[in-house]
């Protein structure tokens, strides 16, 4: 293969997880309430805590979901591509992608019982690391930190570090305490010292329903989705997380890049216009921390691409690419067509930095060059 890309934003949605994942692994006392797939008049769905939840491909809904997400791929009956390394690697090869970082939507599951939530995360994280082991330099499914329960995060992060995780998902929308709270200091320090990147994806708090296609509610929601992360970016910077931990890496996924120059410049302006915070002194401008510690992914952002060559736009040193596989709005498997058009005019060196080399450094990927 001639690999051209590392995709830093992909998905292993729960609809593609195997039906027995939790039932075969979870502690006996949680099994009755744990996730399972059930059949309904609308097809197979996930269920937990006695309630039907999202759609599930490992059942009668497989053909419908395969036709929706993998049209023209002749997906065999029962195949679960994002969670099956055999199909996952084949699909990456199809798009000349050497390695991929994969976000789960299990982070979005609303689970009432804190004990069950921790057990669901534990089982999922073990499954993730087993899947990664099939090709650890190419497949980076992200373990989930249980950020709704901050006191549980250091132990789970340490467990994932010992298991060999290169990155973990840190769900900023679910945090039990704000990012600037000192309760997170041990997590940030541990991640920095271990070289484990904290990854977070645009979205909402777990359990938040998507708006209906009714009077513009859905279209309005998706129009502002990239900006959902705007509050947390400054919180990481101004809390001193990067000042205290110079090697900490944070990657914000699917937020796109065209709107970021204003946010970053406005953060710098606060330093010049407002009193310094004595509890979190900073030795650099926010834009300098962004350049050193943060990456942002985009799949198709023609406006942002035009800004990549300008130093004043701040994003040249932070942008990385993601295919958004296997979502319909993404650019898999025809990434090259979109990227050649979008990045036309950039130097070959800058293209390679954004499409491959920067992600290789951030996620400790060694091969594919």
- Whether the per-residue pLDDT at 169 is higher than 90: the answer is yes
Distance between CA atoms of residues 191 and 247, nearest Å: 9
Tokens 């990012």 belong to 179
Query: Residue 284 domain-assigned?
Result: yes
Q: Are 326 and 69 in contact (CB under 8 A)?
A: yes
Look at residues 13, 61, 53 and name the one whose alpha carbon lies nearest to residue 33: 53
Query: Residue 171 domain-assigned?
Result: yes
The model's confidence at residue 148, banded by pLDDT at 50, 70 and 90, is: very high
Say what the pLDDT of residue 203 is: 94
- Quote the domain boundaries for residue 165: 5-13+85-362
Q: Are 206 and 174 in contact (CB under 8 A)?
A: yes
Say what the pLDDT of residue 73 is: 85
Question: How many secondary structure helices (H) and strands (E) does the chain include?
Answer: 14, 12
Give the mean model confidence (pLDDT) for residues 357-365. 98
Query: Residue 28 domain-assigned?
Result: no
Say what the pLDDT of residue 145 is: 98
* pLDDT tens digits, one per residue of 93-142: 999 999 999 999 998 999 999 999 999 999 999 999 999 999 999 999 99
Say what the pLDDT of residue 238 is: 98
* pLDDT tens digits, one per residue of 250-284: 999 999 999 999 999 999 999 999 999 999 999 99
Say what the pLDDT of residue 241 is: 98
Say what the pLDDT of residue 115 is: 97
Average pLDDT, the chain: 96
E-assigned strand segments in 228-293: 250-253
Say what the pLDDT of residue 337 is: 87
- Whether the per-residue pLDDT at 369 is higher than 80: the answer is no
Beta strands 294-298 and 197-201 are unpaired
Distance between CA atoms of residues 176 and 43, nearest Å: 35
Residue 22 exposed, middle or buried by CB count within 10 Å (0-12, 13-18, 19+): buried
- Count of alpha carbons within 13 angstroms of residue 160, beta-carbon side: 37
- Whether the per-residue pLDDT at 1 is higher than 80: the answer is no
Distance between CA atoms of residues 326 and 283, nearest Å: 41
Q: In this predicted model, which residue has the larger pLDDT, 329 or 323?
A: 323
- Tally of domains in the chain: 1
- Least confident window among 70-79, 139-148, 154-163, 235-244: 70-79
Query: Residue 137 domain-assigned?
Result: yes
**CATH number of the domain within which 298 lies:** 3.20.20.140
**51-55 β-sheet, strand order:** 36-40, 43-48, 51-55
The C-alpha angle 125, 180, 156, rounded to 5 degrees, equals: 20
Say what the pLDDT of residue 212 is: 92
Distance between CA atoms of residues 6 and 138, nearest Å: 9
- Whether the per-residue pLDDT at 170 is higher than 80: the answer is yes
Query: Residue 22 domain-assigned?
Result: no
Say what the pLDDT of residue 335 is: 87
Distance of CA 316 to the CA centre of its chain: 21
Distance between CA atoms of residues 144 and 200, nearest Å: 10
- In percent, the amount of the chain with pLDDT more than 90 equals 94
Q: In this predicted model, which residue has the larger pLDDT, 188 or 329?
A: 188
- Least confident window among 41-55, 236-250, 269-283, 323-337: 323-337
Say what the pLDDT of residue 74 is: 87
The model's confidence at residue 329, banded by pLDDT at 50, 70 and 90, is: confident
Query: Residue 49 domain-assigned?
Result: no
Distance between CA atoms of residues 194 and 362, nearest Å: 13
Spatial neighbors of 207 by CB under 8 A, at least 6 apart, are 108, 109, 110
- Least confident window among 264-273, 304-313, 332-341: 332-341
The model's confidence at residue 72, banded by pLDDT at 50, 70 and 90, is: confident
- Whether the per-residue pLDDT at 144 is higher than 80: the answer is yes
Q: Are 298 and 319 in contact (CB under 8 A)?
A: yes
Distance between CA atoms of residues 213 and 219, nearest Å: 7
- Residue 134 token pair: 């099939």
State whether residue 284 is helix, strand or coil. coil
Query: Residue 35 domain-assigned?
Result: no
């Amino acid at each position: 293969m001639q690999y051209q890309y590392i995709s830093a934003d992909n998905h292993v949605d729960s609809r593609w997880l195997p039906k027995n994942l939790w039932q075969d692994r979870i502690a006996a006392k949680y099994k009755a309430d744990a996730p399972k797939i059930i059949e309904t008049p609308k097809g197979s769905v996930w269920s937990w805590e006695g309630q039907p939840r999202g759609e599930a491909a490992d059942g009668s809904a497989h053909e419908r979901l395969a036709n929706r997400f993998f049209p023209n791929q002749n997906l065999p009956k029962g195949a679960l591509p994002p969670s099956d390394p055999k199909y996952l690697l084949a699909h990456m090869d199809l798009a000349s992608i050497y390695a991929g970082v994969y976000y789960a939507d299990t982070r979005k599951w609303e689970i009432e019982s804190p004990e069950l939530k921790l057990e669901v995360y534990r089982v999922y994280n073990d499954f993730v690391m087993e899947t990664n082991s099939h090709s650890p330099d190419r497949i980076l499914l992200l373990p989930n930190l249980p950020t709704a329960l901050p006191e549980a995060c250091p132990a789970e992060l340490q467990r994932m570090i010992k298991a060999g995780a290169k990155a973990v998902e840190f769900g900023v929308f679910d945090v039990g305490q704000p990012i600037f709270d000192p309760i997170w200091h041990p997590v940030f320090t541990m991640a920095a010292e271990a070289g484990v990147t904290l990854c977070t994806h645009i979205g909402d708090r777990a359990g938040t329903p998507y708006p209906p296609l009714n009077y513009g509610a859905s279209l309005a929601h998706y129009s502002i989705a990239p900006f959902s992360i705007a509050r947390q970016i400054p919180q990481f910077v101004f809390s001193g997380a990067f000042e205290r931990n110079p090697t900490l890496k944070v990657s914000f996924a699917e937020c796109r890049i065209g709107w970021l120059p204003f946010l970053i410049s406005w953060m710098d302006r606060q330093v010049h216009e407002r009193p310094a915070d004595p509890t979190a002194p900073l030795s650099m401008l926010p834009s300098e921390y962004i350049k050193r510690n943060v990456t942002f992914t985009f799949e198709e952002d023609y406006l942002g691409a035009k800004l990549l060559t300008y130093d004043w736009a701040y994003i040249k040193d932070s942008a990385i690419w993601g295919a958004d596989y296997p979502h319909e709005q993404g650019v898999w498997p025809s990434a090259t067509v979109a990227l050649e058009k979008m990045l036309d005019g950039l130097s070959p060196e800058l293209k390679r930095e954004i499409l491959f080399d920067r992600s290789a450094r951030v996620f400790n990927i060694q091969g594919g060059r």
